[in-house]
Amino acid sequence: MIYELNETHDPALKCRVESAHNPETEFPIQNLPLGIFTKGNKTPHIGIAIGDRILDLFECGKRGLLDGLPLPLLDACAAEQLNRLMALDPELWSRLRMHVSRLLQTGEKAKSLAGQIDDSLIPMRSCTMLMPARIGDYTDFYASIHHARNVGSMFRPDSPLFPNYRYVPIGYHGRASSIVVSGTSICRPCGQLEHPGFAPDFGPCRMLDYELEIGALIGHGNPLGKPIRMTNAESHLFGICLVNDWSARDIQKWEYQPLGPFLAKSFATTISPWVVSMEALAPYRCPAPVRDPDDPAPLPYLFSSENAQTGGIDLDLQVSIYTERMREDLQHPAGVSCSNLTNLYWTFAQLVTHHASNGCNLMPGDLMASGTVSGVDKSSRGCLLELAWRGTDPVLLPNGEERRFLEDGDEVIFSAHARRKGFASIGLGECRGIVAPAVHQSNFTHS
């Protein structure tokens, strides 16, 4: 199912939160993303971002502002994570979105509840964002053909893509325990490093990289042994967030054969705290990527006419780097690349369908990441491995610094925005992480 446009997408909606009308806001009333926040040391609550405020759904429920919604929905809104809400039927997600949209509008009903609504709105600056859900499993895909072709050409110039790439969505099972929320420092990992002609060294990664990705969080799942059909795949998608799947390129080069990424990827993955619903993205849907004339058509289980027509999402993606020197000199972060989610070869519906095609049971809160989203042009490459071409063509930053790979103190910042004429622009918030020095090697010696 692809959500249809309704009153919640109306660009003329007026919101009682004045900052939601700021042209620069990522969170107008047409967005309404969900996340988990805490104020001080209080119990975490589910919140909805609106302008520079957070609508506390627990407080809304306590004040009767959610009256009329079904009991399972009320119970889910009082939880400390989004998993219970994710497990519900998509129709209930839509009911909550519609209810909150009307609550935040400047109509007569909202005026009569003004005091109670205002008491449920909290300034974002006074809150701490937490992980939006309990992520039980994490799958990282390789769904951008431009990224796959670039990386393949570095190692296999004559045959950058394996024959299976155009037939099967490539992915691997990642480490869910090391997924962290935006703002968490990332410790430079240590591992075995190739030393040609000698035994490998063990030490800090020298080729630390970021990967610009979008993650889809699973809503209600499927029973073990029961595949998900393409025609129903979208109903299993709760929403999307930004993902930085940090990568230790030198560790990966030595260890990845024959089974694939291990320590080079499992040390950290950062996600943005706000989950933008698939319904909020309805105005920005577009056709699935058009394949080259010589490319094979997707196998029948990976095809539906609805996905072909509206399976894509027109979402601009940006990467900035904020070095230690930039912070000291009070400069702004430097943008280094811009991409778009239409650069994926496979849609999220196809990723969900393929993931469950063997009977694998997906669960509420599972994270499925797109893999690095790169475009055709150099300016749209989604990682330093591509931008600096394995370190041979360093990226020149505006203040004169160069980067082949990330240095200690570098902060990587992702953002994303959906825009379409005739509709409000919405954003995903930020996905940030700063690189901290590696743990001293003396910690690995015996006591």
The set of catalytic residues is: 147
At 367, is the secondary structure helix, strand, or coil? strand
Long-range contacts of range 88-97, CB-CB < 8 Å, 24 or more positions apart? 88/219, 88/220, 89/220, 90/1, 90/219, 90/220, 90/235, 93/219, 93/238, 93/277, 93/279, 94/3, 94/279, 95/69, 95/70, 96/69, 97/8, 97/32, 97/277, 97/279, 97/280
Q: Determine whether 128 is exposed, middle or buried from the number of CB atoms within 10 Å of its CB (0-12, 13-18, 19+).
A: middle
Q: What is the CA radius of gyration of the chain?
A: 22
Are β-strands 237-244 and 276-277 bridged in parallel, bridged antiparallel, or unpaired? antiparallel
Nearest to 320 by CA among 434, 149, 188, 187: 434
* 3-class SS string, 207-239: CEECCEEEEEEECCCCCCCCCCCHHHHHHHEEE
Are β-strands 367-369 and 138-141 bridged in parallel, bridged antiparallel, or unpaired? parallel
Contact 410, 323 (CB under 8 A): yes
Measured CA to CA in angstroms, residue 277 lies from 131, 213, 226, 333, 368 at distances of 16, 17, 25, 28, 15
DSSP H/E element including 269: strand 269-271
The region that residue 321 occupies, defined by phi over 0 for left and psi between -120 and 50 for alpha, beta otherwise, is beta
Edge-first strand order for the sheet with 121-123 is 121-123, 53-56, 45-50, 34-38, 128-130
**Residue in this structure with the two tokens 């319904």, named with its chain if needed:** 279
Contact 9, 423 (CB under 8 A): yes
Instruction: Report CA torsion sign: 265, 128, 50, 424.
Output: negative
Contact 416, 318 (CB under 8 A): yes
